[in-house]
A and B are shown apart, each in its own frame.
Chain A
Amino acid sequence: MINEKVIIAESLTKNFGDFVAVDQISFEVAKGEIFGFLGANGAGKTTAMRMLCGLSTPSSGKANVAGFDLFKETEKIKKSIGYMSQKFSLYEDLTIRENIQFYGGIYGLSKKNIQEKSAYLVEHLHLQNYQNNLVKSLPLGWKQKLAFSVAIVHDPAIVFLDEPTGGVDPVTRREFWELIYDASARGITVFVTTHYMDEAEYCNRVSIMVDGRIEALDTPKELKKIYESVSMGEVFLKLARKAVRGE
């Protein structure tokens, strides 16, 4: 990791009429970094994330994602990132293998590559005996792990995870984070939102949005020092309580 930046945002702003949803946020994320993106409901996280994924055009500011300009090269950005949320993940009526093949196809992988990827993923996730089962027959925890693996099937520069572990049992939640560490070790940058404050501790760096602005950004250790808190939960409460605007 030679300090290569995969996300550079400068004064990135999004207005909806008079409402400033995201207010001049500036930050950088390094290759392979696990970057926690925290904030209360309504703080502007989703809007910021949609902009970074190329789904919403910023009102002003500058940003470069995966080496591409956020204003001019959104289609290239979309090919260089992966996305997973708790809600949108897999096709329930397709089998495990079909889901992998489908996403591999969408991201333009070659047939041979898809074959190899499918075999690798199925083995890596210990799903050999279930690969021809419909996704809807799988326990939630398995689905989430599979959804994450599918989101990075094309080895993207960055994967965006929007509350990936919501509702998952505590053991599976930890297994999920092991997958995140694996991806990060392979050089994939992980941009993750969560409402579990213990998960904030697992990130390399954490940003906390309040009222559309990034109010704090540092390693969990530094943030706890700065805000004289014993846990990230306490840091979050101290910062988010300052919010003026509601949802």
Chain B
Amino acid sequence: MQAVIVEHIVKKYQVEKSEVIALKDVSFEVAKGELFGVVGPDGSGKTSLFRVLTTLLFADSGAAKIDGYDVVKDYKIIRKKLGYMPGRFSLYQDLSVEENLTFFATIFNTTIEENYDLIKEIYQQIEPFKKRRAGMLSGGMKQKLALCCALIHKPSVLILDEPTTGVDAVSRKEFWEMLQRFKRQDITILVSTPYMDEASMCDRVALLQNGQILAIDKPANINQQFSHPLWAVQASNMYELLKKLKDWQAVYSCYSFGEFYHVVMKLDATGGKEIQAYLSEQGFQNVEVKQIAANIEDSFMALMNTTHD
């Protein structure tokens, strides 16, 4: 059985006098035990989608099921099965670390001891501060406590809304490594992120932009669908290089990517040698051109260009 089924979900908001469509006919399924990523920038609809799935928001149309239960009809059952960590810190600031955890365990009719093995690895990192009020914790510790509270009733589906936003590269890596380990516990995980590079940590991802799914697949498969040769180009004078590449008629698209520019030519036949020769002719020094595989960010931008609403 699929752990999550989303069918043709539409969600609209009334802002001032105009209507904003947050989710435009979104459908997908997540298998049991899968680590599924929803990747998209702010405003793409990630939070609306998760709030529909967590029974906190009614969709205008469409249906969704968690473990076979309908998010509207069976909301009471679903709330017992779900672990949810919202994007905004939502624990009790005036309760201590320990009190928050006990509180959430009690609500779900369980105890910290009963499911301690599940949270042990994370909880041990904040245990030295268990008497501290949650409001006084640092961002990273709050996040760990929130995750413990979301896990304390051993949910079958865990929904994490942007757990790594604003978190540094090292802590983000550690967080994802931790999620990989939860998979072994047979917990289905839906996680959203605005960081494109995190897509590669998921089993499958949905790329979301303006309430629409641009692509949904294993990250490697999405990247394989990038249909043109992609070139990474570098030279001594990067600023001039960008201008020259953008003015060159043979170039289809060109954008910065770390220390390189990623370039797609209009004709796939135009190869690295031709690019190299052209730029050397134009007087650029230390020109380096190499063919590379597209990553999720390349794919996302290519899909953004082809999908119009």
Q: Which residues of A contact B (CB under 8 A)?
A: 39-42, 134, 136-137, 139-141, 163, 166-172, 174, 177, 181, 195-198, 201-202, 220-221, 231-233, 236-237, 240-241, 243, 246-247
Contact = CB atoms under 8 A, between A and B. Distances in A.
Closest CB pairs A-B (n = 3)? A247-B138, A169-B41, A167-B42
A195 B167 contact: yes
* Interface bin, chain B: 35 or more
Contact of B16 (A137, A231, A247): A137
Nearest to B129: A246
Contact of B41 (A134, A140, A177): A140
Contact of A139 (B43, B168, B195): B43
Contact of B140 (A167, A181, A246): A246
Contact of B42 (A39, A168, A240, A247): A168
Contacts of A195: 166-169, 172, 195
Given A167-B194, A197-B169, A41 B138 contact: yes
Contacts of B15: 136-137
A167 B165 contact: yes
Contact of A237 (B141, B169, B258, B297): B169
Interface string B254-282: 01111100000000000000000000000
Given A40-B171, A169-B304, A247-B139, A232 B258 contact: yes
Interface in B26-64: 40-44
18 contacts: A39-B168, A40-B169, A136-B15, A141-B41, A166-B194, A169-B41, A169-B304, A170-B196, A170-B301, A170-B304, A171-B304, A198-B257, A231-B258, A233-B169, A236-B169, A236-B170, A237-B169, A243-B170
A138 to B, nearest CB: 10
A201 B194 CA distance: 20
Contacts of A170: 41, 196, 297, 300-301, 304
A119 to B, nearest CB: 26
Nearest to B139: A41
Contacts of A240: 168-170
B141 A247 contact: yes
B209 interface: yes
B293 to A, nearest CB: 15
Interface in B134-182: 138-141, 165-173
Contacts, number: 92
A196 B168 CA distance: 9
A105 B11 CA distance: 40
Contacts of B172: 195
Contacts of B18: 137
A247 B139 CA distance: 8
Contacts of A181: 239
A102 B169 CA distance: 36
Contact of B168 (A41, A140, A168, A202): A41
Contacts of A177: 256
Given A168-B42, A247-B138, A247-B141, A198 B258 contact: yes
Given A139-B43, A195-B168, A169 B209 contact: yes
Nearest to A231: B258
A240 B169 CA distance: 9
Given A41-B168, A220-B259, 20 more contacts: A40-B170, A40-B171, A141-B41, A166-B166, A166-B194, A167-B41, A170-B41, A170-B196, A174-B255, A177-B256, A195-B167, A198-B258, A201-B258, A231-B258, A231-B259, A232-B258, A236-B170, A237-B169, A246-B140, A246-B141
A131 B53 CA distance: 37
Contacts of A39: 168
Nearest to B238: A202
A134 B196 CA distance: 30
A220 B259 CA distance: 9
Interface string B98-111: 00000000000000
Nearest to B20: A137
A163 B196 contact: no
Contacts of A134: 16
Contacts of A247: 138-141
B302 to A, nearest CB: 10
A42 B140 contact: yes
A197 B171 CA distance: 13
Contacts of A221: 259
Contacts of A237: 169-170, 173
Contacts of A198: 257-258
